[in-house]
C-alpha cells in the first residue's frame, strides 16, 4: 500500500485485529520469503486491560442493572429523584477511580508510566465534568435561579486548587502577608464563596488598620449579596429586584472611588459588579472558560434561564480564548451540552474518549429520562442499543469482564440476543469452570444451539484426555446421539481390553438418557446385566443378555463377548437358560461364525488369535449342547409331573 508496493493483510477477532505484511521476496524462485516477519496485534478496547478501568466497569455494572429495573410506573418527582440518584452514583464511581488513578500516578517510579496515569486521570476528570453538566441540564432540568446554584457547585467541584491554596495561606504564620493571600481571596470571590472571602478580609483588616474600613465595606457588600438558597421561598422577581439594588450599591462605591487606595479591593469589587475586563484579568486564576462563564453569570445574570445558557457560553468561550487558540474537544462537548444538543454531546464524546463506557451509560440514562425517543439509527437499532452493543462487545474481549457484557446484551431488545449468541460462541473455554459458567448463561436463556455446541467442545476435550465419563456426560447434555455412540464404543472397547468398566456411577444412573442412541442403550443395559449377575439374579440376567443379542441392539462385534459372558450361566448347577433360549443362543453363535471374514495369508499373531477364537467357539458349542440337554430333560420332567 506504499511506494514499495507492500500490502497489508488483516483479520478481525472478537476484540482485536491481526495485521501483517504480505509482500514476498520473489528473488528466490524455489520458495516465497516473507518481506516482514512481524504480526501486529491491534486491540479494539485497550481500557479493558487497565485495572482501574476494570474497577469502573465492575462498579457501574450494578448501577446499570438497577436502573433497568426502575419501576416504569414511577412518574413525576419520585422518578426524577431516582434518576438523579442513579446519575450521582455513576459519578461517584468515576471519582473513586479517578482518585485511585491519581494515587497510582503519584506513586509511579517510572516517569513515563506516571505520565500515562496522569493522562488517564485527566480523562476520568473530563468524563465526570461532562456527566455532571449533563446531570444538571438534562436530568435535574434545573430552572432559572437553582440553575446557577448547580453550576456553581459544578465549578467548585472541578476547580479544586483553591483548597490546597487555602491550606497553604492559612497554615502560614501571617496569612495576610502570604504571597498568595490576594490570589486566594480572588479565587474565593470568583467561585462565589463570599463567606470565606469575608473571613480572609477580616485577617487583612486586623493586620492593616489603614485598609480596615475598606475591608469592612467590601465585606458588608459580600454579606448582603442576594442569593437564592435551596430552602428560600422568595420569587425570582423579588431576587432580581434585591440583586439590582445590591449591584447599584457596588457600582456606587466604585464611582465614589471607595477602594481607590487598594488595587486588590477595587479589583474584587469590579469582579462583583461583573466587569468583563476585570474578570479576564484573572484568566490564570479562572483557569478555563466555563469557570469564567459561571462567575460572569453569578455577578451579571444570576437568574439566567436554561434557554439563554448557550448564548452566554459561546460569548464566554470567545472572550476567554480571545482568538489566540482553537477550542479543544472538551470545549466542543461542553458547548454542545449548553446548547442542549444531546446527540452532539454523545457524538463528540464517542470521538474524543478512548472507550464506549461513558457514552453507553450516559445514553442509557438519558434514554430512561425519555430524552432520546425520537432518535433511531438507519440500520435498525436506536442510539442507546447501538452504544450498549459496542460497549458489551468490548467487554467480551476480556477473559473475565465478558460476564458483565452478558447483562448489557440482555437489555438490548432488538439485537442483544443475536449479538450474545455470536459473542458467546467465541469465548475460549480454557477451564471446565469457565465452560460451566458459559453453559449456565446459555441454558438460562434457552440458547439451545450454543448449549449443544459448548457441550460438544467439552466432550471432545474430555475424550482427547481419555476422560470417558466426562465425555459421555457432556454428549448426553448436548443430546448428541452420534457422539454418545462414539463414546459408548470407547467404553465397550475399554471393557474388552481391561475386563471392567470405568465411571460405574455414571453408567448406573443413566436413566432415560440411555435412550439417546442404541449404543448408549446397549452400554446401560449391558452394565445392568453385570449388576444382576453380581447380585446372583441369574435368570433375570440371562433374559437381559439374550434380549440384547436378539433385539439387534448389541453391535455384532460385541456378540462374542456376550456369548462368552453366557458361559458361566450355562455352567451353573441349576438350568438358567430354557431350551428355547438356548436355541436362540446357538443361532446367534452360528450367525456369528458363519459370517466371519476370510483373511488372506495369515501371520503368526492372526493364527494365534484364530486359535483362541476357535477354542471359545468350541467351548460355547459344548456348553450350549450340554445346557440344551439339561433344559429339555428339566422341561420334560416338569411337563410329566404336570401331566
Question: Tell me: the pLDDT tens digits for 79-97?
Answer: 888 999 999 999 999 999 9
Phi and psi torsions of 9, nearest 5°: -115, 135
Average pLDDT over residues 212-239: 86
Percent of the chain surpassing pLDDT 70: 82
pLDDT of residue 312: 96
- What are the grid coordinates assigned to 372, written together? 432520546
Q: What is the pLDDT of residue 108?
A: 80
524-543 residue pLDDT tens: 777 777 777 777 787 777 77
The predicted pLDDT at position 599 comes to: 46
Q: Give the per-residue pLDDT at 287.
A: 86
Q: Of 574 and 130, which is predicted with more confidence?
A: 130
CB count within 10 Å of CB 75 equals: 9
CA distances from 538 to 147, 526, 575, 640, 643 (A): 92, 14, 10, 26, 28
Rounded Cα distance between 488 and 481, Å, is 10
pLDDT (mean) for 185-209:
90
Task: Provide the 3-class DSSP secondary structure of residue 108.
Answer: coil
Distance CA(607)–CA(612), nearest Å, equals 9
pLDDT band at 499 (very low <50, low <70, confident <90, very high): low
DSSP-derived letter for residue 20 is: E
The residue written with cell numbers 501483517 in the block is: 20
pLDDT score for 195 = 92
Q: Across residues 492-504, what is the average pLDDT? A: 65
CA 614 to chain centre: 66
Dist CA 21 CA 37 (whole Å): 8
* Lookup: cell for 528: 445392568
For the chain, percent helix, then strand, then coil, each to nearest 5? Answer: 70, 5, 25
Using CA atoms, how far apart are residues 318 and 474, in angstroms rounded to an integer?
A: 68
For 377-422, write each residue's pLDDT tens digit: 555 568 899 999 999 998 988 888 899 999 999 999 989 999 999 9
Q: Residue 265 — very low, low, confident or very high, per pLDDT cuts 50/70/90?
A: very high
Q: How far apart are CA 473 and CA 469, in angstroms?
A: 6
In this model, does residue 323 exceed pLDDT 50?
A: yes
> pLDDT value at position 232?
67
pLDDT exceeds 50 at position 1? no
Mean pLDDT within 445-464: 85
> What's the whole-number mean pLDDT along residues 291-318?
94
pLDDT band at 164 (very low <50, low <70, confident <90, very high): confident
What average pLDDT is seen over the chain?
81
At residue 58, the pLDDT reads: 93
**260-289: average pLDDT:** 92
Number of H helices, E strands in the chain: 30, 5
546-604 pLDDT per residue, tens = 777 777 777 777 777 777 777 777 777 777 777 777 777 788 787 777 755 544 445 55
Query: Is the confidence at residue 638, as pLDDT, over 70?
Result: no
Angle in degrees, CA 519, 520, 524, rounded to 5: 120
Bigger pLDDT: 14 or 548? Answer: 548
**pLDDT, mean of residues 112-131:** 89
What number is the average pLDDT over the span 493-507? Answer: 63
Summarised one tens digit per residue, pLDDT across range 467-483 is 777 787 777 777 777 87
The pTM assigned to this predicted structure is 0.77
pLDDT of residue 600: 46
Average pLDDT rounded to a whole number, residues 218-235: 84
The predicted structure's pLDDT at residue 12: 55
pLDDT of residue 585: 74
pLDDT tops 50 at residue 123: yes
Amino acid at each position: 500500500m506504499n511506494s514499495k508496493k507492500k500490502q497489508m493483510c488483516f483479520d478481525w477477532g472478537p476484540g482485536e485485529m491481526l495485521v501483517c505484511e504480505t509482500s514476498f521476496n520473489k528473488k528466490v524462485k524455489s520458495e516465497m520469503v516473507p518481506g516482514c516477519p512481524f504480526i501486529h496485534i491491534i486491540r479494539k478496547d485497550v481500557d479493558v486491560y487497565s485495572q482501574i478501568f476494570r474497577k469502573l466497569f465492575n462498579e457501574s455494572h450494578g448501577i446499570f442493572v438497577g436502573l433497568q429495573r426502575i419501576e416504569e410506573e414511577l412518574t413525576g418527582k419520585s422518578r426524577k429523584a431516582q434518576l438523579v440518584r442513579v446519575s450521582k452514583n455513576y459519578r461517584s464511581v468515576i471519582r473513586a477511580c479517578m482518585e485511585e488513578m491519581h494515587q497510582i500516578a503519584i506513586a509511579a517510579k517510572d516517569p513515563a508510566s506516571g505520565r500515562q496515569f496522569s493522562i488517564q486521570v485527566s480523562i476520568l476528570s473530563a468524563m465526570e465534568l461532562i456527566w455532571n453538566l449533563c446531570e444538571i441540564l438534562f436530568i435535574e432540568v434545573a430552572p432559572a435561579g437553582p440553575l446557577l446554584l448547580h453550576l456553581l457547585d459544578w465549578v467548585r467541584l472541578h476547580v479544586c486548587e483553591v483548597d490546597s491554596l487555602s491550606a497553604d495561606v492559612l497554615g502560614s504564620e501571617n496569612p495576610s502577608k502570604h504571597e498568595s493571600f490576594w490570589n486566594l481571596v480572588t479565587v474565593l470571590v470568583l467561585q462565589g464563596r463570599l463567606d470565606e472571602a469575608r473571613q480572609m478580609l477580616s485577617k487583612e483588616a486586623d493586620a492593616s488598620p489603614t485598609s480596615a474600613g475598606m475591608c469592612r465595606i467590601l465585606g458588608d457588600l459580600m454579606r448582603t449579596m442576594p442569593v437564592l438558597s435551596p430552602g428560600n421561598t422568595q420569587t425570582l422577581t423579588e431576587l432580581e429586584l434585591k440583586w439590582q439594588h445590591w449591584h447599584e450599591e457596588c457600582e456606587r462605591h466604585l464611582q465614589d472611588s471607595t477602594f481607590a487606595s487598594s488595587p486588590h479591593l477595587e479589583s474584587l469589587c469590579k469582579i462583583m459588579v461583573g466587569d468583563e475586563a476585570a474578570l479576564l484579568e484573572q484568566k490564570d486564576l479562572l483557569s478555563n472558560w466555563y469557570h469564567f462563564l459561571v462567575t460572569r453569570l453569578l455577578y451579571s445574570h444570576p437568574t439566567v434561564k436554561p434557554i439563554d445558557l448557550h448564548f452566554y457560553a459561546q460569548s464566554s468561550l470567545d472572550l476567554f480564548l480571545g482568538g489566540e487558540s482553537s477550542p479543544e474537544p472538551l470545549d466542543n462537548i461542553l458547548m454542545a451540552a449548553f446548547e442542549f444538543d444531546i446527540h452532539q454531546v454523545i457524538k463528540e464524546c464517542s470521538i474524543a474518549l478512548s472507550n464506549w463506557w461513558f457514552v453507553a451509560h450516559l445514553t442509557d440514562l438519558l434514554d430512561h429520562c425519555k430524552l432520546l425517543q425520537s432518535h433511531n439509527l438507519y440500520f435498525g437499532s436506536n442510539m442507546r442499543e447501538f452504544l450498549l452493543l459496542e460497549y458489551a462487545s468490548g467487554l467480551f474481549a476480556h477473559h473475565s469482564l465478558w460476564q458483565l457484557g452478558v447483562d448489557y446484551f440482555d437489555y438490548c431488545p432488538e439485537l442483544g440476543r443475536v449479538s450474545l449468541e455470536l459473542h458467546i460462541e467465541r469465548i475460549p473455554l480454557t477451564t471446565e469452570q469457565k465452560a460451566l459458567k458459559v453453559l449456565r448463561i446459555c441454558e438460562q436463556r434457552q440458547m439451545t444451539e450454543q448449549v449443544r455446541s459448548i457441550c460438544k467442545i467439552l466432550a471432545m476435550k474430555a475424550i482427547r484426555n481419555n476422560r470417558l465419563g466426562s465425555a459421555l456426560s457432556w454428549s448426553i447434555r448436548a443430546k448428541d446421539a452420534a457422539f454418545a455412540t462414539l463414546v459408548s464404543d470407547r467404553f465397550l472397547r475399554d471393557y474388552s481390553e481391561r475386563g471392567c468398566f470405568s465411571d460405574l456411577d455414571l453408567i448406573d444412573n443413566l436413566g432415560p438418557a440411555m435412550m439417546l442412541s442404541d449404543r448408549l442403550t446397549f452400554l446401560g443395559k449391558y452394565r445392568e446385566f453385570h449388576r444382576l449377575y453380581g447380585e446372583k439374579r441369574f435368570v433375570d440376567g440371562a433374559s437381559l443378555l439374550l434380549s440384547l443379542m436378539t433385539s439387534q441392539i448389541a453391535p455384532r462385534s460385541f456378540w462374542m463377548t456376550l456369548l462368552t459372558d453366557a458361559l458361566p450361566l450355562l455352567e451353573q448347577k441349576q438350568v438358567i437358560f430354557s431350551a428355547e433360549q438356548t436355541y436362540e443362543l446357538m443361532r446367534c453363535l452360528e450367525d456369528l461364525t458363519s459370517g466371519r471374514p476370510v483373511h488372506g495369508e495369515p501371520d503368526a499373531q492372526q493364527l494365534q488369535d484364530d486359535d483362541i477364537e476357535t477354542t471359545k467357539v468350541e467351548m460355547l458349542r459344548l456348553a450350549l449342547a450340554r445346557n440344551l440337554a439339561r433344559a429339555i430333560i428339566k422341561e420334560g420332567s416338569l411337563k410329566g409331573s404336570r401331566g
